Chains A and B, each alone.
Chain A
């Protein structure tokens, strides 16, 4: 099937009492899922499992019908580079690159010259275009977060995973980012999984999950 499917997933960290069990969780093509729950509930762990950054001990995670666990590591990386957009909680920008270079980083490693126009467009939409040639290390937290959002979208991913992408933003900018993400999923048919502590945003997603219900 298209979209994201998680079934009978079990995951534990070595020497940790933390247990994550997900019997069935699906995000359709163009669908959106918000992961809710208190800090330490396992939201980021589940997001990383769904995006293929972590592999489950048991069960299956498939993106667009591809089972990530059965893929060789190189294929899994290539899959992420091509089809997955990631927005990290700490933005994970490279401070020695400019805003433009950070946004176009996936394209650089895909050896693709495409995306510059889209990158610029995203930067304008997210109001960081004025910093296009500035080093990422010189941006404010909010600006860095918006650059990270643009980087996740620049290669038109089929699957988008966002870990608190609005945490450092004011209300206005939060709306801008949310509108952009939701418009993108709706227009491209990409699947979005997002973590947030902002309960006001939850109703805007097609499905919601409290992750603490999956953990023990």
Chain B
């Protein structure tokens, strides 16, 4: 008898598949939302935790500690007030730890260009998958996913993005030579372009070279009284070549040059405490943060928001279930004649109840399965989405 009831329920659901799909879809959404929210929060925590724990301290301009952490650790694209290189030099001079500079102001093809020093690769335990690390001004190394996504490799070139389109006197893009591609690390490093700090200063216009315009007849517009005026064919980008490498030079005091932040690796626990104490003074233009603490604070806030959202979603779920019950009640009421007919033919009340129950179960089960599939998809894609969110 239950088979007959199931058959009848199935036939009804199939015949009214649009309504069934809408109802199951609505149920799936309200069921999946809390699950997806949890998955995303967990993915965020997983994506951020290791890096935050692995980075002892970060030095940066006083301001939002959270922004400093997000920018220095996850290369999140947001303007960070710059600090002078001398603060980094001062920290190094204390002998309490290493300081690895980071300049994350510029971008290339949507990816952050991270100006740093060779120590960064050792600190993050980054290995090369192909090519070699940068050896001279204008070289860069790509993260694995970026290289794969853009189809770039050693020997190719990459232009830095012109950050200010309307600044006619601004810095032209730098044509960088790709010397290597890093192995997959599953961190934000996979999506970044790494260059020497001086290369980034070159992009910023703090260093420059001199093209030999006079020797190339194609580029000369006019020559008079020892002055050469170039024509419009002059390239509107910098490129460091073996020929012009020696002509590049920096002006001014390197200590006044800007960096976004610096990763600080104290010698030992005591040094870490001493450094932390040293930068507590409010009147200092820089701050030293512990990413682990910032991460825990961020996650605390995130969990609070999650709990609030879960309460709201639970209320929504309750309302959706109430509406579903109402929809079924109205549907069964409208079909009363049909059930009366079945009863008249001799179908038992138990079988009629089974028929109704199977209809509810098919719709509810469909909604549940759809919710689980949706959650599985979110779980599958969560890491990628979180990385995009953080980039």
Contacts and interface: CB of A to CB of B under 8 A. Distances in A.
Interface in A85-109: 86, 88, 92, 94-97, 101, 105-106, 108-109
Interface string B344-371: 1111100100000000000000000000
Contacts of A95: 15
A71 interface: no
A77 interface: yes
Nearest to B15: A96
Given A96-B16, A111-B1, A106 B345 contact: yes
B338 A94 contact: yes
Interface centre among A88, A95, A96 (most CB of B within 10 A): A96
A80 interface: yes
B interface, size bucket? 20 to 34
Interface residues of A, number: 23
B236 interface: no
A86 B1 contact: no
Interface centre among A95, A105, A106, A135 (most CB of B within 10 A): A105
Contacts, number: 54
A86 B344 contact: yes
B1 A92 contact: no
A86 B7 CA distance: 22
Contact of B4 (A53, A79, A94, A108): A108
Contacts of B337: 92
Contacts of B318: none
B345 A105 contact: yes
Interface in B1-31: 1, 3-4, 7-8, 11-12, 14-16
B344 A74 contact: no
A96 B11 CA distance: 7
Contacts of B1: 109, 111
A105 B339 CA distance: 13
B344 A96 contact: no
B63 interface: no
17 contacts: A53-B344, A77-B347, A79-B346, A80-B344, A81-B346, A86-B345, A92-B337, A94-B338, A94-B341, A96-B14, A97-B8, A97-B11, A106-B345, A109-B1, A109-B347, A111-B3, A111-B4
